[in-house]
Structure 1
């Protein structure tokens, strides 16, 4: 989800930059209107391509912090040694959706306020709101003002504004949408002005007269809004753009290609993955041995059958999503429903040492792997390293009794995540 929002907002900024650089000064007001609306719509739709995935999800392999069965079970929380990017990925969604909720509430409040003003207006303000035209005091007989406001109603300009406001509520952190809204409303006024200003000088004088002592309402289309007055009058007397200037709208093509390319890169980033060699089944890569304390591992189990190779990989995810492919980045990591600390405690309280290990006074480490499926179930248990005496088998028997986890997610899709669990123990006769 965060990647989608990133792509949406980058595309919005690129499109707006093109508008400011090439199109803002053109007098093709209707074209500019549709460019602004189309830019926002395109920015929302194209990044959806990162979610297109028709193949089987792959693995993401993580190494859990070592579980020391000889020390205290209630020491540092396991979350303190998990990659900090995971903590951030869990914090960001609640913050984002809280902002969305507050923004939608603010929008609803302003809509209600604008509606009440439109119904009960009793002032000199003339404006249009959805399909309603309100003429200010003394303007009932002014055909120019009425014609101007009817154009806003006929072309459904209020719906344009509401669309941008809604998009902004879901992208509340991006100020560029304020600029989109400001420019869109200006184009609305220019469209209506161009249709009504047969006598440009008289029309400009009317705008100035109407602008005196008028407050601005962002969701309304006021006949004369003081903040845009100078630009509107300047545009009235600007020479019409030549038809060949419409070719400037093709400047959007590089931006379209950039947006599509970014979407493709984030969805098909398997090209950034490279093999780091093979490791015999049942062995642990040296870089993995040195990173047991919660760091990301990069182990691909291409087949769990004995004697089959284990491929080591580096860098990040592939969306080829072949069975067993590996990611070393994930939006939301899977976790036990009651948290990692409870999971650690549960293992410590329920693990039963095999009698033969007790008799032999075994001390050392064991390493087992398992897969958190896309539905949260634990599966594919495997002993990677153990000292024998049934230590590994007992760990796996215990893990099979564990409750389902909350599944991991990548780009909004549930994915299979392979975990390795190191356990340190020290038994004496």
Structure 2
């Protein structure tokens, strides 16, 4: 899980940096919208490694590296391990608590809009739904409705440009983007990059809505002045598209910025190249160091995992295998007397029939530790063998075991 979060966080950081450096100041708003949303999806899915890409220069030999097993006899070490478990439980509790609070706040915010629709009168103008609020508010939109002041609506004090701005938000389904970003902030509240992405998404929404207004009315200068007149009202509504969101010099300048087709095509090409590179980097088959010995100890050919190989399975899953080793391993008496701690590495082969063979000590700690590890592995029940294209194959495993004895 930690590795997944680190990888997804790294991808998010790279994509956000690319957006800030290359895309934010360009009038390619629809591409930017797709890029921001796609970057988030890409960053969350790619680290899962749902598929793999064969490397350009694949190594001929690869082994499956198992997770480390720790075997201890010192009670203080066991207590130390339990402290980590307590810390993990504490952090998990904090995560769930904060996520629950954010989820409740999110549900209340969403519910508030539908409550407003029920409690206030609704009007339809040219098939557009307006919720007429009793209090004085700035026009804002959510889902399929525009929320405006009933008094201002009745007196015709709301400029047509502002209504067109909110209609653009609704027609382009900007609410869905915001809800998507909000849900991810609940799940990944500890990652500030999701906050930055939501801000970028909202600002790009404003660029899109401004563009729609200026295409409809063609009075950019008048629209800019209108926005500045409303900028002093700082009241905003959570989850809604607000007319006064980020009224900055950048947004006003974006309306008059000239487009450069060649420049935009070049930046799109660069972005696609970066995405392809990241896709390859995070999904290329991991290749281990090559080994000149292509046959096992008995002369049989060795098969190594590839994209088409279904890995062997210990009965009950790999966690059961770790438990099996830990429960059967007996610390050698001489090893305990020497009060040694360290890590040994054992390689073993899972045969086509699921049995284990060809045990090889890659790194030993001495005093019978490796012999004990091999003894335990020989006790293992048969695995479900690996298959490649439907046929059973032999696969090599590497198992690290950390031993800590009394001191």
* TM superposition score normalised by structure 2: 0.61
Aligned counterparts of 2:311 and 2:170: Cα–Cα separation in 1? 57
Structure 2 CA distance for partners of 1:8 and 1:117, relative to 1, 3 Å? same
Aligned counterparts of 1:149 and 1:63: Cα–Cα separation in 2? 59
Q: Of residues 94, 115, 130 in structure 1, which corresponds to 2:143? A: 130
Partner of 1:19: 19
Partner of 1:175: 192
Is 1:60 matched with 2:60?
no
Is 1:112 matched with 2:108?
yes
Matched ranges for 1:29-40 at <5 A:
29-40=29-40
Q: Deviations over 1:185-213 (max 9, x none)?
A: 11111211222242223322332333333
Q: Which secondary structure does the structure 2 equivalent of 1:269 belong to?
A: coil
Q: Which secondary structure does the structure 1 equivalent of 2:146 belong to?
A: strand
Partner of 1:102: 98
How far apart are 1:39 and its partner, in Å?
2.0
Whether the aligned pair in 2 keeps the contact of 1:125 and 1:137 (CA below 8 Å) is no
Q: Which runs of 5+ in 2 are unaligned?
A: 55-61, 117-132, 313-317, 337-343, 382-395
Aligned counterparts of 2:380 and 2:30: Cα–Cα separation in 1? 64
Matched ranges for 1:417-428 at <5 A:
418=399
Matched ranges for 1:198-347 at <5 A:
198=217, 199-225=219-245, 227-236=246-255, 238-247=256-265, 248-265=267-284, 268-271=285-288, 273-275=289-291, 308=298, 335-336=322-323, 343=327
Matched ranges for 1:134-153 at <5 A:
134-140=147-153, 141=156, 142=158, 143-153=160-170
Whether the aligned pair in 1 keeps the contact of 2:36 and 2:197 (CA below 8 Å) is yes
Q: Which secondary structure does the structure 1 equivalent of 2:149 belong to?
A: coil
Q: Which secondary structure does the structure 1 equivalent of 2:247 belong to?
A: helix
Aligned counterparts of 2:37 and 2:150: Cα–Cα separation in 1? 34
How far apart are 1:152 and its partner, in Å?
0.9
Matched ranges for 1:41-56 at <5 A:
41-49=41-49
Q: Deviations over 1:293-351 (max 9, x none)?
A: xxxxxxxxx97xxx759xxxxxxx977797999xxxxx9896549x96xx58x979xxx
Q: Deviations over 1:54-112 (max 9, x none)?
A: 9x99463757547xxxxxx7744457599x9xx69x97798479536733641441342
Aligned counterparts of 2:185 and 2:21: Cα–Cα separation in 1? 23
How far apart are 1:221 and its partner, in Å?
0.4
Partner of 2:122: none
CA RMSD of aligned residues (A): 5.4
How far apart are 1:144 and its partner, in Å?
2.5
Whether the aligned pair in 1 keeps the contact of 2:49 and 2:283 (CA below 8 Å) is yes
Aligned counterparts of 2:234 and 2:77: Cα–Cα separation in 1? 60
Matched residue count: 333
Partner of 1:3: 3
